[in-house]
Amino acid sequence: KAGVTQTPRYLIKTRGQQVTLSCSPISGHRSVSWYQQTPGQGLQFLFEYFSETQRNKGNFPGRFSGRQFSNSRSEMNVSTLELGDSALYLCASSLAEAGELFFGEGSRLTVL
Amino acid sequence: QKEVEQNSGPLSVPEGAIASLNCTYSDRVSQSFFWYRQYSGKSPELIMSIYSNGDKEDGRFTAQLNKASQYVSLLIRDSQPSDSATYLCARRAGANNLFFGTGTRLTVIP
């Protein structure tokens, strides 16, 4: 059974640009969550989607957005990139609302 | 006050010893807690979940929850070098929204 797939794995952007990250969940999983991981702040919740609807949103500015498609695949977008957005962005899928998350390998974003 | 607090370590134990990882949380209504393991350069993976007061055992791992003291712990018996990783404690805030601690780095010395 294939795991959670995230693309791209690595990317470099400059300040002011925007970026779109993609996530394909485990087959059958309808919940997709996004997390940001940095050395200083650790893992922080961005948002969660279930059946194309955003159910929860973390404490991030509106520059961070996401969506989920009918096949459960999800994308997140960060606009007007700032240096502080450099991080590992992790997508996780889940079968239910139990908090048992299966993480992808992440997309490492560097903002110059 | 952080939602979930962990001692960042590093924690070093000799091979075969018991590693004890601790976590405290601030939200008294929390019901669900999780331990994730993250190897260097890899993504987190779920080790244990615990929802009720007391102990829950799974192989060499035992999770302990004390809701009155707002305390969660993970014991690793017969520690192996392959257990060397960062261990993340998390509490569920809603659906699949988890608050994670910053993690405790464990090193098992052969």
Q: Tens digit of pLDDT for each residue in A11-50? A: 999 999 999 999 999 999 999 999 999 998 899 999 999 9
Contacting residues of A for B4, CB less than 8 Å apart: none
DSSP secondary structure string, B46-71?
EEEEE-SSEEEEETTEEEEEETTTTE
How many helices (H) and strands (E) would you count in chain A? 0, 11
> Quick one: pLDDT at residue B9?
79
Interchain proximity B34–A99, CB inside 8 Å:
yes
Interchain proximity A97–B42, CB inside 8 Å:
no
Q: Tens digit of pLDDT for each residue in B26-73? A: 877 778 999 999 999 999 999 999 999 999 999 999 999 998 889 999
| Range B8-19 average pLDDT | 93
Which comes out higher in pLDDT, residue B9 or A75? A75
pLDDT band at A57 (very low <50, low <70, confident <90, very high): very high
In three-state secondary structure terms, B39 is coil
> Quick one: pLDDT at residue B2?
62
pLDDT band at B1 (very low <50, low <70, confident <90, very high): low
pLDDT at A55 over 80: yes
Q: Does A39 touch chain B (CB under 8 A)?
A: no
Contacting residues of A for B41, CB less than 8 Å apart: none
Pick left, alpha or beta for residue B96 (phi over 0 → left; psi -120 to 50 → alpha; otherwise beta): alpha
Amino acid at B16: G
CA distances for A77 relative to A9, A96, A107, B84, angstroms: 15, 25, 12, 34
Token readout for B35 is: 């331990």
Contacting residues of A for B44, CB less than 8 Å apart: 43, 90, 101, 103
- Best A45, A49, A107 residue to mutate vs chain B (most B CBs within 10 Å): A45
pLDDT at B8 over 80: no
